[in-house]
Chains A and B, each alone.
Chain A
Amino acid sequence: MTDAALPLPRRAPIREATAWDRLKTNRNWLGFWFMVPAAAFLILFLAYPLGLGVWLSFTDTRIGRPGEFIGIENYEWVLGDSKFQDAVFNTLFYTTIASIAKFAIGLYLAILLNHHLPFKAMIRAIVLIPFIVPTVLSAIAFWWIFDPTFSIVSWTLKEMGWRTTNINFLGDTWNARWSVIFANVWRGVPFIAITLLAGLQTVPPSLYEAATLDGATRWQMFRYITYPLLTPIIAVVMTFSVLFTFTDFQLIKVLTNGGPAGATELMATMSYNTAILGGKIGEGAAVSTAMIPFLLGAIMISWFGLQRRKWQQGED
């Protein structure tokens, strides 16, 4: 009643949105501003170098001298080089064996940790330590363990009477390959085990109870319950594992530096030796660019493997 008597407050007319307001409030502009820091880092130091790397592989750049475009000459030289062929073989061998071993042991460890255990949280924390400690520092410990004369492993085997001589871990072609694979598996298992454990914990126990009532064996339960439900997480974890094993550098650099006689030279260490130590940036870039098709292949396989799984399970 009194409302009507009061004079209406004068309102300011609604202001036209200025260009500045648009920049401040428009969804797309706002999104753009928020993306600037991350985009700057990723474009300047990731996307640009990635493109530059491909370009450098087509030039004859040396350290301290800009190069000129020389077409596929670097690739011709690299593909014809027996050292490169050996490096590709070593890399594939290293990646395949280490990934399979990491997956098998990691899954086994995850299943073990999924049991009802005393001090479970503590055991899980301890298991992860090899993954926390910087690779180079644990590689140094392995270097000492693999020492040709003072290896503790050789000493123990000799004391137990299983061997009479020291094992030449890093000096023999195949011993060196197996030794670096062992160190890589040692370092990679915790990551795979803990991530798969997180996946295992999401599997509903009722499924196992139902399977038990149906008389399923332990293997059948693993094969038809655990494995299918874990597939998506396995695909992601193994993609990462394969990718980072394929491009491994630190472990090899510390343990063998590619030796003996190139037996453990991987593509990453070869590109370092060629480009940084040898100064031939162009050739080195060609070696590292040659890794890209393999990586894309690995990503594709895991991606489409994952898709097919989903389709089979009817989760279209």
Chain B
Amino acid sequence: MSAAETRADITDNREGMSYLDTLPRRVVTVYIPLFLIVFVLLFPFYWMGLTAIKPKEELVDFERANPFWTWAPTLEHIKDLIFKTEYPRWLWNTMFISVVSTVLALIASVFAAYAIVRIRYKGASTVGGLIFLSYLVPPSILFIPLSTVVYQYGLFDTPFALILTYPTILIPFSTWLLMGYFKTIPFELEECALIDGASRFQILMKIVLPLAVPGLISAGIFCLTLCWNEFIYALTFINTHANKTVPVAIVTAFTDGDQYRWGSLMAGALVGSLPLVILYSFFVEYYVSAMTGAVKE
């Protein structure tokens, strides 16, 4: 390390001492790498969006026009998607299944988390550990036996096959997250309520839940994205075309080998991700706290 560099190296990446960094140095060590990484992270979405609005003839012709831009945007692919396929139905399925299983999972996790943290029955900490372990069981191991279970229960090919199995992915995570939130609510509030004769159920409903709303939003948003993202169960348990969710339907619907299918594929992917991205943009902070909260515990 040269002497000149050493001077600059005695700096730190914290805000407090960042005045020691010169601007050119920051450009090279921070802004350029950051720009490159963000560019790579976002490029597939740009490409997805661009392909979705490109006219058909430009899709596979890179000679006459620059492929990175289009001067004749068209809604043709999106129109085809909505009016010529069952896409609205798939989108509805995805939303319906995601919302219902998120709600189910949240209800179950609120009770479980409260019981583990505050009722502290015998063996509560063991149960907490088991729930964390069940978080580590990946769906790829479960889908084969689950498909036979779903078949036995008579749920095969119905939305309930997914509505009832998704909570197993969501409950461990959201219970763990809510446990963290419930721990931060002062015990004294509950003691007062107990003395006033409130039952545990009333305490949970009227005192704990209103105070844990940010936790509920975090858990809800995260669960919703997990459901939307789920693939292997949806692929295995649903057969009828109309009952499929967006990720499964889109993979199976447009793989007919037509070279212009890319427009509809990208339009489908774009329309399928937009609701989530819009929702996420409103709740970024909650989402981040859900992600980091579950890991930190």
Contacts and interface: CB of A to CB of B under 8 A. Distances in A.
A58 B197 CA distance: 55
A276 B124 contact: no
B149 A48 contact: yes
B137 interface: yes
B18 A115 contact: yes
Contacts, number: 310
Given A209-B17, A250-B232, A299-B136, A134 B44 contact: no
Given A132-B277, A155-B67, A112 B295 contact: no
Interface in B248-292: 248, 250-251, 259, 262, 265-266, 268-269, 272-273, 276-277, 280-281, 284, 287-288, 291-292
Interface string A106-133: 0011011111110001011111111011
B11 A140 contact: no
Contact of B295 (A215, A236, A275): A236
Nearest to B204: A34
A149 B59 CA distance: 12
Contacts of A105: 37
Chain A interface secondary structure, helix, strand, loop or mixed?
helix
Contact of A27 (B119, B246, B247): B119
Contacts of B168: 41-42, 45-46
B277 A111 contact: no
A8 interface: no
Chain B interface secondary structure, helix, strand, loop or mixed?
helix
B265 A247 contact: no
B9 interface: yes
A135 B62 contact: no
A105 B33 CA distance: 11
Contacts of A149: 60
Interface residues of A, number: 108
A292 interface: yes
Contacts of B62: 150, 155
B236 interface: yes
Contacts of B105: 41
A313 interface: no
A27 B40 CA distance: 54
Interface in A48-86: 48-50, 52-53, 56, 61
Interface string B41-76: 110110110010000000110100001100000000
Nearest to A136: B247
Contact of B149 (A52, A112, A127, A244): A52
Contacts of B273: 132-134, 137-138
Interface stretch (A12-20, A171-179, A283-291, A304-312): A283-291
A157 interface: no
Interface stretch (B77-85, B109-117, B183-191, B209-217): B109-117
A37 B149 contact: no
Nearest to B172: A42
A254 interface: yes
A93 interface: no
B47 A123 contact: no
A198 interface: yes
User: Which one of A115, A236, A299 has the highest number of Cβ atoms from chain B below 10 Å of its Cβ?
Assistant: A115
Given A30-B119, A233-B295, A135 B229 contact: yes
Interface in B1-31: 1, 6, 9-18, 26, 30
Contacts of B134: 42, 46-47
Contacts of B266: 140-141, 144
Contacts of B272: 134, 137
A49 B225 CA distance: 24
A126 B259 CA distance: 31
Contacts of B100: none
User: Which one of A35, A145, A239, A254 has the highest number of Cβ atoms from chain B below 10 Å of its Cβ?
Assistant: A35
Nearest to A29: B121
Interface of A: 24, 27-28, 30-32, 34-42, 44-50, 52-53, 56, 61, 105, 108-109, 111-117, 121, 123-130, 132-138, 140-142, 144-145, 147, 149-150, 152, 155, 186, 189-191, 194-195, 198-199, 205, 208-209, 211-212, 215-218, 221, 233, 236-237, 239-240, 243-244, 246-250, 253-254, 268, 271-272, 275-276, 281, 284-285, 288-289, 291-292, 295, 299
Given A45-B164, A212-B12, 11 more contacts: A30-B200, A38-B171, A49-B142, A105-B37, A127-B41, A198-B288, A205-B16, A212-B17, A233-B295, A271-B144, A275-B144
